[in-house]
Amino acid sequence: MKYFEIRLNITPADPWKEIFTSMMGEIGCDSFMDDEDEGTLLCYIPVQDYNEAALKEVVEDHGFENVEVTYSIREMPDIDWNAEWEANYQPVMIADRCYIRAPFHPARPETEFEIIIEPKMSFGTAHHATTAQMAEYVLETEMKNKYVLDMGSGTGVLAILSKMRGATDVTAIDNDEWAYRNGLENVAHNNCADIQVLLGDASLLGEKKYDVILANINRNILLQDIPTYVRCLQPNGLLFMSGFYEEPDLDIIRKCCEENGLKYIDHKMRDNWVAAKFQKLG
């Protein structure tokens, strides 16, 4: 598969490289690398997915004050980019309790929870702040005998961790066919084949009730789906959400939740990315 390399020069670099990584992912880039220059982000997109108008909207119309972004683009040689990316892929440790690794990394059986993820250049491997913070919430929350829903499940890492922590019934939903297939692969890798992995969105949710809902998507989809999540939550059930920024998104998300009968509990923040905890009023 042929790829374009898009080189973004971002000033200042922190925390904007993380933010632009997410934005570039939304327009089709499926892998990223840091250059030797602090403010440079290398983004890779299949040639057939490249959209110049979408790129210019990210670079020229991002709307962030005092942030300067320039870019250049080149076509890359047709080599096995997945293998190249895997060579630089590192395992992740969450809260000294959960070790998330690829099959080609050495095992750490002494760790409380060890999860094997076929990364394949995807989000959801806990390298990104949103997934890492949601994983921390899963580790902090009583999951034994709970019914858990993982929306925007990606690789399925949060669903798998929930099952490992004792959840009785776990459903993972993603609207991307590749994520769906990768989720099936990963639940099998981790002996969690009883996790129900579905292809779709919140429209799949029927009358089933959940004790815990994990939704790591983006602000607009979350705002759209919060009423559906509330309908599917048991009284006093917990809703954890991520995929948005502290400013201005958290206040907007919080207001929507409170209007729909949810109580704000707390939130985590890393690199301006937020994960927030809400509870349905009983």
Residue 260 CA, chain-centre distance (Å), reads 24
Across 129-157, average pLDDT = 95
Spatial separation of the C-alpha atoms in residues 70 and 11, rounded to whole Å: 9
Spatial separation of the C-alpha atoms in residues 251 and 241, rounded to whole Å: 13
Give me the amino acid identity at 98. Answer: C
Least confidently predicted of 27-36, 80-89, 156-165, 244-253: 80-89
pLDDT reported for residue 125: 62
Q: How confident is the model at residue 178 (pLDDT cuts 50, 70, 90)?
A: confident
pLDDT reported for residue 120: 61
Q: Which architecture does CATH list for 3-84?
A: 2-Layer Sandwich (3.30)
pLDDT reported for residue 82: 60
Give me the amino acid identity at 183. Answer: G
Q: Which architecture does CATH list for 134-280?
A: 3-Layer(aba) Sandwich (3.40)
Q: How confident is the model at residue 14 (pLDDT cuts 50, 70, 90)?
A: confident
User: The pTM is what?
Assistant: 0.74
Residue 84 has pLDDT above 80, yes or no: no
**What are the extents of the domains in the chain?**
3-84, 134-280
